[in-house]
Structure 1
């Protein structure tokens, strides 16, 4: 197998290195899988991942978040906990973040050039600020307020 290094492959290698240097396995694994896909017969599945990757990722993330409730490690809150101000704040913030994410998908579709900046910012946030790579979608939603002004 001969590696065909182009700008995209170089970017993926840089992301792998940043992931390793920052001890962030999410970036390392994601970039490695995409590099392997790009450089092998699996490249034919990249359009599928492009089209469905966000939805698949959200499903997996939701399963991970719900699992502690299903396993019983986190109890279902009682009525008094649901009426606490912290729960109202959690619901409000959750709704706001979901709204940002909903705005992010159309922005990334209509102005894909901005995705590069969002990804760089997300990688920097993950690598150097201890963030997690769920940021591009939410960041795109927040950016849509500035760029689209709606």
Structure 2
């Protein structure tokens, strides 16, 4: 029963905080739970992140496929300052995301803090919800820095 209450609260917070993805995700999980379809939870837990990342990658690649970005423009960006920073940013982000995923697997209860932090960022800082994985990555980095200087 506590899980359902948390999901309802997340739906409310998602609606109030204009985080429609959070509200939708919590709604889907609540429907699955109330429909007695919890047998899908292990598969969602195991593969949900991969499925989400698949759709994110598809969305990022669409401009290349539909001709908004020309192939010759792509190669030229590697030799610009912003292109090199983008390349480095991608490398660092994927490494940090991996560290965040490890942290979430070890301490899944941190997810609530990540979700609430994301909602605060959306509501008060005009942020964009890119998902809890990047939040976990930043949290993992902050934890490493904290333990380094402790």
Return 5+ residue gaps in structure 2 as ranges.
none
2:18–2:122 Cα contact (<8 Å) kept: no
Structure 1 match to 2:12: 17
Q: CA deviation at 1:91?
A: 1.1
Distance 1:36 1:73, change over 3 A: same
Structure 1 match to 2:79: 83
Structure 1 match to 2:60: 65
Residues 13-39 of structure 1 deviation map (CA, whole Å, 9 limit, x = unaligned): 122122222333212211111111111
Q: 1:26 aligns with which of 16, 21, 32?
A: 21
Return 5+ residue gaps in structure 1 as ranges.
1-5
Q: CA deviation at 1:115?
A: 2.3
Which deviates further from its counterpart, 50-59 or 17-26?
Answer: 17-26
More helix by percentage: 2
Distance in 2 (alpha carbons) for counterparts of 1:49 and 1:25: 19
Provide the TM-score with structure 2 as the length reference.
0.83
Which structure 1 residue ranges, 4+ long, deviate > 6 Å from structure 2?
Answer: none
Provide the TM-score with structure 1 as the length reference.
0.83
Quote the RMSD (CA, aligned, Å).
2.0
How many residues are matched? 145
